[in-house]
Structure 1
Amino acid sequence: MTQRVELAAVLDRLAIDALITDYAITVDDGDWDAYRRLFAPDGRADYRSAGGIEGPAPEVADWLTESLRIFAVRQHLIVNRRIHFDIRDQDIGDTARIQADYTNPMRLADKAEGSDSAAPDFECGGRYAFTAVRTHNGWRLRQVVVQEKWRRQHWSDPVT
């Protein structure tokens, strides 16, 4: 590879890393318009392993808006990112597959006023499989698949 190709690969990796970080922040902040903009027009998300839905990103964003309303605090930590690019003519192509582990502590919105506990009421973790595509607007998500591996609840009533 030439230095130009290597520099392009580094820039693509940084852009994809920023895309995954933006994904976590938009979900944690409940910024569903920004969430929708992270996806390519044909983008889809699959949260079925965590008890959610699978579908087009705008539909999933609507579902997330309602289902995450019970949590006032959300904090995705997405780590151990592996990025694999497709190769085209000995150069990085326009598709990347990203595998990343996550942990996600959350705190209920209706926690009693004056509670001195800042501990999360719910925690889960697992692995994301992202597919990103290069578009005219930069890298965008084509697919997000959540594989929840564990969860822990710290309250007596189940989440509904």
Structure 2
Amino acid sequence: MTQRVDLATVMDRLAIDEVVSGYAVAVDDGDWAAYRALFTPSGRADYSSAGGVEGPAGEVADWLARTMELFPVRQHLIVNRLVRLEDLGGSPGDSAEVRADFLNPMRLAGEDFDGSVTAPNFVAAGRYTFTLARTGDGWRLTGVTVHEKWRHFSV
């Protein structure tokens, strides 16, 4: 590989990492316009392993907006990111896959909830599979699949 190809690969990895981090921030902040903007027009999301829905990203964003009202405090931690770029004979292609573990502590809303930060009473964890494509607007998600491995609930 040449230095130019190496630099392009590094830049792609940084841009892909920004999309994955942007995903976590959008969900945690309830910024559903930002969530939608991370996807290609045909992008899809699958939360079925966590008891959720699967479908076009816009429809899933609507479902998330309703569901996340139950959790006014949430913090996605997406770690152990394994990025695989399409390889076109030594040059990066226009598609990528990221597998990454997640830990998602959340606080349920309740009558006594005053907005202060308290210990989470719902935690979910597992692995994401993100698929991405290079577009004219940069890297965008073509798919997100949640593979929930465990959850813990306490009152």
TM-score (norm 1): 0.93
Q: Distance in 2 between matches of 1:117 and 1:31?
A: 20
Tell me what 2:3 maps to. 3
Q: CA deviation at 1:13?
A: 0.4
Q: 1:114 to 1:143 in 2, by over 3 A?
A: closer
The alignment partner of 1:69 has SS state of helix
Tell me what 2:64 maps to. 64
- 1:10-159 paired onto structure 2 within 5 Å: 10-110=10-110, 112-113=112-113, 118-155=118-155
Q: CA deviation at 1:116?
A: 8.3
> Residues 2-32 of structure 1, C-alpha deviation per residue, up to 9 Å, x if partnerless?
0000000000000001110000000000000
What percent identity do the matched residue pairs reach? 57
Q: CA deviation at 1:127?
A: 0.1
TM-score (norm 2): 0.96
Q: Give the 4+ runs in structure 1 shifted more than 3 A.
A: 113-117
Q: CA deviation at 1:86?
A: 1.0
State how many pairs are aligned. 155
Q: Is the 8 A contact 2:73 2:117 kept in 1?
A: no
Q: Distance in 1 between matches of 2:84 and 2:29?
A: 28
Look up the equivalent residue of 1:61 and give its one-letter code. A
Look up the equivalent residue of 2:63 and give its one-letter code. W
Q: Is the 8 A contact 2:123 2:151 kept in 1?
A: yes
Q: Distance in 1 between matches of 2:117 and 2:37?
A: 35
Q: CA deviation at 1:121?
A: 1.1
Tell me what 1:158 maps to. none
Q: Distance in 2 between matches of 1:28 and 1:78?
A: 12
Q: CA deviation at 1:129?
A: 0.4
> Residues 63-114 of structure 1, C-alpha deviation per residue, up to 9 Å, x if partnerless?
0011111111010000000000111243100000000000000001225146
Q: Which moved more, 1:97-106 or 1:112-121?
A: 112-121
Q: Which runs of 5+ in 2 are unaligned?
A: none
Look up the equivalent residue of 2:64 and give its one-letter code. L
Q: 1:65 to 1:114 in 2, by over 3 A?
A: closer
The alignment partner of 1:52 has SS state of coil
Q: CA deviation at 1:115?
A: 9.6
Q: Distance in 2 between matches of 1:62 and 1:107?
A: 20
Q: Distance in 1 between matches of 2:113 and 2:63?
A: 28
Q: Distance in 2 between matches of 1:116 and 1:55?
A: 34
Q: Is the 8 A contact 2:80 2:101 kept in 1?
A: yes
